[in-house]
A and B are shown apart, each in its own frame.
Chain A
Amino acid sequence: MHISDGILPLAWCGIWYAVCIPFWMLGVREIRSRTKEDPKYLPTLAMIGAAVFVISVWHIPVPVTGSCSHPVGTPMAAIIVGPFATVVISSIALFFQAFLGHGGITTLGANTFSMGIVGTFTGYATYVLLKNRAPVWLSAGLAGFVGDMMTYVTSALELALGLNPHSVIYHWWLYFLGYGPTQIPLALAEFAFTAGVVSYIAVNRPELLKVGVAHG
C-alpha cells in the first residue's frame, strides 16, 4: 500500500492530502485532550506508534504467491490509543518510511488515507460493533483482518482513480488482484496478532485498553 512518488497525478496527491487534514486536526485534538486526562497516554502512544512503524514496513514473504507484503497494525493501534490518534501516528510512521524507500512524500496523503484512515476506522468500527457480542479476541482479530484488507482495497482504488479514470472499476479490481493473494495470509496473521495483543492487554492491563475504547 506504499504508493511511491511520481505514480499518482499531483492533483490526486493534493486531494488525498486535503481529505487527511480534518483527521489530522481531530487526531492532534484527541492526543491533547487524552494527554491532559492521563499523562501515561503519551508514552503509550509513542510505543504504539513505534509498533505501527515496524509492523507496516516489515515485509513478510508469502511463498505460495512468490511475493511479500506487510500487515498494517493500525486496527490494533486504534483499539488501544483511539482512531484519530492512530491517523496521526500512521502519518508519522509513513513519513519516516519514505526515507526507507517505502511510499513517498507527495503520496503521503494517499498512503495515510488508505492505511491511517480507512484501515484504522474500518478495523475500529468492526471492533466496536462486535465487542459486546463476541469474545475480545474474536472482535479484535476480525478488526485486524478487516482493517488490513480494506487498506489494500483502498490503495487499489486510489491507483485506479488516479491513473485510469475511464475504467476505474476494472483497474481497481486489477490492482487489487496484485495485492490480494499475498495479502490474505498476512491479514490472517494480522487477525492473530491483533487478537493476541488486545486480548492479552484486556486481561493483564485493562486500563491501557480503556484509553482507546472508552473515548472512542
Chain B
Amino acid sequence: MDRFTVYSIALLVLISSAIIVASYIGHKKGALEGTDDIVEDLATSTTHVQAKEIVPAIPEKLEPIGFTLAGVFGGLLVGYFWEDVFGEGGRE
C-alpha cells in the first residue's frame, strides 16, 4: 500500500471512531437540538408558519438503509448514467 492509501485508511478509522464516540455520548446524554430546528422554531413563533413534511422522512433507525439507498441510486443515476443523460451521443 502506498502512503496515500495508508493515510486515507487512518483518516477513515479516525473519523469512524469520532462518529462512534459522538454517537455514544449522544446515546448517554440525549441528543442535542439542531440549530436548524432552533431557528425554525424561532421563525414559526414569530410568523405562525409551520414546517410541512412533503417527502416522507426515513425513520431514524432506518437511516443507515436510507444512506445506502441514497448512495446506490446517487451512484448509479449520477455516476453510471451521467454520460447517457448529459453526454453527447450517449455512452460509447
Interface residues on A, range: 35 or more
Assess the B39–A175 pair: CB atoms within 8 A. yes
Bound-complex Cα distance A144 to B74 (A): 25
A100–B4 CB distance below 8 A: no
**A7, B57: Cβ atoms closer than 8 Å:** no
Docked pose: A105 CA to B54 CA in angstroms: 7
Q: Which residues of B contact A92 (CB under 8 A)?
A: 74, 78
Min CB distance A153 to B, Å, is 12
Contact (Cβ within 8 A) A7 B54: no
Q: Is B79 an interface residue (CB 8 A)?
A: yes
Which of A65-73, A75-83, A129-137 is found at the contact surface with chain B?
A65-73
CA distance A6 to B40 in the complex (A): 10
Contact A61 B42 (CB under 8 A): no
Find B52's partner among A1, A5, A204 (CB 8 Å cutoff): A5
Q: How far is the CB of B51 from chain A (nearest CB, A)?
A: 4
- Find out whether the CB atom of A68 lies under 8 angstroms from the CB atom of B57: no
Query: Is there contact, CB below 8 Å, between B52 and A4?
Result: yes
Most B-side CB within 10 Å, residue of A3, A69, A100: A100
Q: Are B31 and A68 in touch, CB under 8 angstroms?
A: yes
B52, A6: Cβ atoms closer than 8 Å: yes
Is the pair B78, A46 in contact by a Cβ cutoff of 8 Å?
Answer: yes
Q: Complex Cα distance A59/B19, Å?
A: 10
Interface stretch, picked from A14-22, A120-128, A156-164, is A156-164
Given A32-B87, A50-B71, A68-B35, A5 and B82 contact (CB-CB distance below 8 Å) = no
Q: Name the residue on A nearest B87 (C-beta).
A: A32
CB within 8 Å for A205 and B79 given contacts A96-B70, A105-B55, A179-B35: no
Contact (Cβ within 8 A) A100 B63: yes
- Interface positions, chain B 31-69, Cβ under 8 Å from A, are 31-36, 38-40, 42-44, 46-47, 49-58, 63, 66-67
* Shortest beta-carbon distance from A6 to chain B in Å: 3
Top 9 closest pairs, chain A to chain B, by CB = A6-B52, A101-B57, A178-B39, A4-B51, A96-B70, A5-B54, A69-B35, A68-B32, A163-B47
6 A/B residue pairs, CB under 8 Å, sorted by A: A61-B31, A61-B32, A67-B34, A171-B46, A178-B35, A204-B3
